[in-house]
Structure 1
Amino acid sequence: MKKLNKEIGNYCENLAKKYLLDSNYHILDCNFRNFLGEIDIICVKDKILIIIEVKGRYNYDYGLPKESINLSKQKSIIKVTNSYIYYKKLININIRFDVIEVYLNNQNTLFKINHLKDAFRL
């Protein structure tokens, strides 16, 4: 089951990356991880560093995708973001935290993307 979830997650992240590239975002990193956690996608648009969490769902049995990004998950993403900024020596940069929800049908043949800009803040 865990392997299947990872495959579905990778599929949703690939759909999100294509959407971002088609929307003129410049992707810097994907699946950046360290001992603090992981960031799905890091990109830039209009001189803003955008940290993106991607969540996919087939149905609403477990709620909306964005609802799974609770305060604990937000804090983890923020900690990893701070370490990324330090690691890349980025200074004087604006940061935005987005969520991309990917809704799939059971055959993975249709999908809908919902991009929630500025989904949470520091």
Structure 2
Amino acid sequence: MASVSVRYFVDDVDAAIEFYTTHFGFTVAFHPSAGFAIVTRDALRLLINQTDGPGGASQAMPDGRVPEPGGWNRIQLEVSDLDAVVGGLREAGVRFRNDIVTGRGGRQILVEDPAGNPLELFEPHAE
């Protein structure tokens, strides 16, 4: 597989594009309308959908539930110096869900995009 696609629902596609391109090195690959865009970073394609758009992804389910931003599923971006990245993001006013925590494989923190979707920044333990 050449790339992996992940879909995130947002309230404002332009705000999401600004967030991902400014802070995390994504580039805009496709932005055909105000309600949809694709941004990429390496082999990751992030499909950004506005929650109230006309496309199929934002349509209600048969039981009435509708897609919404937030939740706990997330993409993980590996970084080599978590403290430096977090410091820069804090200076830029980016929101976090928690402080840095250490686990078996390394250290991590959860960042929120403008719609409340989480990104995990992960620094693996040195080998």
Q: Which has more radius of gyration? A: 2
* TM-score, length basis structure 1: 0.32
* TM-score, length basis structure 2: 0.31
Name the structure with the higher helix share: 1
